[in-house]
Chains A and B, each alone.
Chain A
């Protein structure tokens, strides 16, 4: 057997994102963006075989397939209206890509600056308000910096823990921000008041580097573990099956 080349940072990130769906069972995994898309396919191809995945349009599909290629087997029809119905019932875990996120997991995909006249208009809140109050949500941030990990987001699109608690039981009932993955590390909110916590740094990244790139104080244990490396089987799936053209390297260099 030939030796497998060491994992890149992008590949570590793919596996860290895939881990967000571990244990989710038979629910719809909705990855938004490139690295989460590779990650969701990898998760289903390995440790989360019951996940449902869509083709990004309106079909539920089986199998493991390459970015940009047609999926092998259609197993269901899920137009947008069916996604809404499904998400209200909670059988979904989305991974979105916010431009800003704060220490309680409030996330902004709508607009930067004053909403009345933003300095940078983004997409709009899309489904983030509804997603975050109905089913687990995770986030992927490819460029971890003080501009993306901010003290306060300009427009709360995805609801974080402090805002959910302030809004009341109808919001906290199904609310869960599961995990945040950046190009530097992995974070969760498993602290007494649900502040963001560093749970691992990617190989070659120090805790100081994460702190310096974060505009809020971040909880971290005394000993922060290193993000787990992809297995050889995972690397083969990423490199040969899901992303043979290495689109991931454009999103996460190095």
Chain B
């Protein structure tokens, strides 16, 4: 059985400019942030980024990596509005495909099922139809209704962060929600899973019920061990969202000068340097 262990740099080396990349998680929850940070350090550009967006989207926009964004929302959850996303949109700096959250799921599911589209009511009557003029409707062959045909959204790559995985790509969520990580993996030509800890396969079911093994090795091309890899988003139950750091991020993201300082402090080095800077921050701040 294949050993699929990789580093963040190995994953980025397999990506190309212009690719369509889906990112799992939801808002500011269980995002593969160490992989996103590796993309920030790369020369990748003109990416189409797909997801239920959070700071992953914000950081990639701020670094000028994104040509098109496909999303149902972009939010930091406890902070409703993502400052980099706002700035990019208000400057007209990024092409967008704004979908309803359910449409995005159907688009990924259609790709996973190798179907050209899936029918739904979702989107009909709303301005999602106006701002996405390529959307088409389809008459029910059984009569009566004309539904939206959500086109399949094929991903060149998917990036997701899970709590545990084995070296073969079987991966496990231990928090309250799998989000749509399995769907992102199944809609992608190549899926990469980062995780808090790579463990021997028997440990996966020794610690939690088998239903938590949402990601199976046939979906996965590479596995990256990335402790605190979702920071500063949540990765329950390993850790919650770093709300204090997120506030610092959001504040900096709203002010160009503060953002330069933030980048220098946290994003100028590699992943160990980032984690060290975060650790230094929490020990340096008096209680």
Interface residues of A (CB under 8 A from B): 57-59, 79-81, 84, 87-88, 110-111, 115-130, 132-134, 155-159, 163-164, 166-171, 173-175
By CB atoms of chain A within 10 A, which of B75, B125, B179 has the most?
Answer: B125
Interface residues of B (CB under 8 A from A): 26, 71-75, 80-81, 85-86, 89-92, 98-103, 105, 120-128, 130-131, 144-147, 176-180
Candidates A58, A84, A130, A155; contact of B127 at CB < 8 Å: A155
Q: How far is the CB of A252 from chain B (nearest CB, A)?
A: 18
CB pair A59–B176 under 8 Å, yes or no, is yes
Within the assembled complex, what's the spacing in Å between the Cα atoms of A121 and B89? 7
CB pair B92–A116 under 8 Å, yes or no, is yes
Closest 10 CB pairs of A and B: A117-B92, A130-B122, A167-B125, A129-B126, A124-B73, A58-B176, A121-B89, A159-B125, A170-B145, A156-B127
CB pair B74–A133 under 8 Å, yes or no, is no
Q: How far is the CB of A114 from chain B (nearest CB, A)?
A: 9
Candidates A118, A125, A157, A168; contact of B146 at CB < 8 Å: A168
CB pair A129–B128 under 8 Å, yes or no, is yes
User: What would 27 A/B residue contacts be, using CB atoms closer than 8 Å?
Assistant: A59-B176, A80-B177, A80-B179, A80-B180, A81-B105, A81-B180, A84-B102, A118-B89, A118-B90, A119-B90, A121-B90, A123-B73, A123-B74, A123-B81, A124-B74, A125-B72, A126-B100, A126-B101, A129-B123, A129-B124, A130-B100, A157-B126, A158-B126, A164-B125, A167-B125, A168-B146, A171-B121
Candidates B89, B100, B105, B144; contact of A129 at CB < 8 Å: B100
Within the assembled complex, what's the spacing in Å between the Cα atoms of A84 and B144? 23
Point out the residues of chain A lying under 8 angstroms from B120, CB to CB. 88, 130
CB pair A128–B71 under 8 Å, yes or no, is no
Q: How far is the CB of B273 from chain A (nearest CB, A)?
A: 32
By CB atoms of chain B within 10 A, which of A110, A123, A155 has the most?
Answer: A123
Within the assembled complex, what's the spacing in Å between the Cα atoms of A80 and B102? 10
CB pair B101–A127 under 8 Å, yes or no, is yes
Within the assembled complex, what's the spacing in Å between the Cα atoms of A9 and B74? 32
CB pair A128–B100 under 8 Å, yes or no, is yes
Q: How far is the CB of A215 from chain B (nearest CB, A)?
A: 19
Point out the residues of chain B lying under 8 angstroms from A128, CB to CB. 100, 126
Point out the residues of chain A lying under 8 angstroms from B125, CB to CB. 129, 132-133, 156, 159, 163-164, 166-167, 171, 175
With A129-B128, A173-B145, A175-B125 given, name 10 new contacts (CB 8 A): A81-B178, A117-B89, A125-B72, A125-B99, A127-B101, A128-B126, A129-B126, A159-B124, A171-B125, A174-B121
Within the assembled complex, what's the spacing in Å between the Cα atoms of A143 and B40? 40
CB pair A157–B127 under 8 Å, yes or no, is yes
Candidates A79, A133, A134, A157; contact of B176 at CB < 8 Å: A79
Known: A115-B131, A126-B101. A170 touches B121 (CB 8 A): yes
Within the assembled complex, what's the spacing in Å between the Cα atoms of A128 and B179? 19
Within the assembled complex, what's the spacing in Å between the Cα atoms of A88 and B131? 23
Within the assembled complex, what's the spacing in Å between the Cα atoms of A49 and B90? 45
Within the assembled complex, what's the spacing in Å between the Cα atoms of A125 and B125? 13
CB pair B147–A159 under 8 Å, yes or no, is no
Within the assembled complex, what's the spacing in Å between the Cα atoms of A175 and B122? 11
